[in-house]
Amino acid sequence: MSQGVVIIGAGHAGGTAAALLKQYGYEDPITLIGEEPIAPYQRPPLSKAWLKGEADADSLALKPESFYAEAGIDLRMSTRVTEIMRTDRVVLLSDGSRVPYDKLIIATGARPRTLPVPGVELDGVQPLRTAADAEQLKARLGPGHRAVIIGGGYIGLEAAASARALGAEAVVVELQPRILARTSCETLSTFFEGYHRAKGVGFELGAGVSEIVGKDGKVTGVRLSDGRVLPCDLVLVAVGIIPNDGLARDAGLPCADGIEVDEHARTADPNIYAIGDVTHRPLGLYGRNLRLESVANALEQAKQAASAIAGRPAPPPEVTWNWSDQYDLKLQLAGLAFDVDRQLVRGDPASAKFAIFHLKGNEIQAVEAVNAPAEFMAGRQFIGNRKPVSLEKLADPSVSMKEVAA
């Protein structure tokens, strides 16, 4: 009898792969193993709607918990995989038991990067990755509280916006001279910084952190490299994530920044797939390999692995996309700005409704759209089909996005 599929990691990618295998008619056993105590859930609301109290816990779940038993998926929560034994095709669990597999999917995601400074162990210093982290954070935000957020990336900025919505003060400390430096262009950084400042968020840019200071075991401030101390009763460390690729490395699977996979999400072992934040994957459109951190990527690779395992045709490649909600701003991003030679802004940032297009010649490579869903949707299509656009029409918001093709 077939031992079926074992999925390590019951997060967005793992949970989706299990459901898709069922949807695609896979009939052998499916075992979904996750170390968190809850069924697969969405992380994006943890810094946005859920943190602000606008979404309840049930709305986070990918599927109702009853779905797994009803679908015949063996969901094992609060269970950690400690080893992959490739020769025997078995995974070892933290309780010492073993689970055999025919096909294995590694969907172990990523963990927050920590800060190598004294004081990170103080009460009130925390990351934001899991629902448990978010519960803790929510309890610490509100009127009278002062948060220092270390890291001016999307999660840090979303947390700052949510902190303001809950009545807390917030200061963002960023090592780079501008926020969003790793992922977005300067025009967007400037816009978001201005918007946050207008909402009362403070910024320390180009600022290192030398120490987190406290009293009686509790955080009281953050000492910057120039010696100044920013007083606070909460520190959110949002300085990026590290892929959980240790199990794969120990099993001898090639890893770079994450587990190396092909366009079917297959690792160097034909019986092992890897999906989601933990992978270093090919991006055909850009002719390079990268590790992506997004729901869209988790879903695309879950489709790739489930299709390959269920014997279905490979799904078509997708244009990578992402989003961020801050205050009344909906930012939608598509594509990646590699090898671009020009940037074109459509609309006026002062109106908080605009889009920044990144082009190679007259082909759109990436779009960053603020409160501009039509620009995002059309931009994503242009990126996918590589259709040239008329720069003149693209720059003119009175010309509809349907008419900007060259």
Q: Rule CB under 6 A: which residues touch ligand FAD? A: 8-14, 33-36, 43-44, 46-47, 80-81, 107-110, 128-129, 155, 244, 247, 276-278, 293-296, 298, 322-324
How many Å from the N-terminal Cα to the C-terminal Cα in the chain? 57
The CA distance from 114 to 237, in Å, is: 7
Q: How far is CA 88 from the centre of its chain?
A: 33
The DSSP bridge pattern shows strands 234-237 and 146-150 to be parallel
Crossing angle of the two packed helices 186-198 and 154-165, in degrees rounded to 10: 20
- Supply the minimum distance, in Å, between the C-beta of residue 10 and ligand FAD: 6
Q: Six-digit token pair at 358?
A: 């990144």
Closest CB 13 distance from ligand FAD, rounded Å = 3
Least separation in angstroms between residue 223's CB and ligand FAD is 26
C-beta of 168 vs 359, nearer to ligand FAD: 168
Pair 160, 152: CB distance under 8 Å: no
Q: Toward ligand FAD, which CB reaches closer, 155 or 171?
A: 155
What DSSP string describes 323-370? EEEETTEEEEEEE---S--EEEEEEEGGGTEEEEEEEETTEEEEEEEE
Of 10 and 305, CB closest to ligand FAD: 10
Q: Which residues lie closer than 8 Å to 253 by C-beta, 6 or more apart?
A: 259, 260, 267, 268, 269, 272, 274
Q: At its nearest, how many Å lie between ligand FAD and the CB of residue 259?
A: 11
Chain center to CA of 110: 9
The nearest distance, CB 362 to ligand FAD, in angstroms, is: 28
Question: Closer CB to ligand FAD, residue 14 or residue 221?
Answer: 14
Please identify, using beta-carbon distances, which residue of 88 and 339 lies nearer to ligand FAD: 88
Strand stretches in 11-80, DSSP E: 30-33, 73-76
Which residue sits closest to ligand FAD, CB atoms considered? 11
Q: How many residues are given for the chain?
A: 406
Question: Based on CB atoms, which residue is closest to ligand FAD, 208 or 240?
Answer: 240
Pairwise CA distance, residues 293 & 84, whole Å: 24
- Shortest reach from residue 136's CB to ligand FAD, in Å: 13
Q: State which residue, 139 or 350, has the beta carbon closest to ligand FAD.
A: 139
The minimum distance between CB 96 and ligand FAD, in angstroms, equals 14
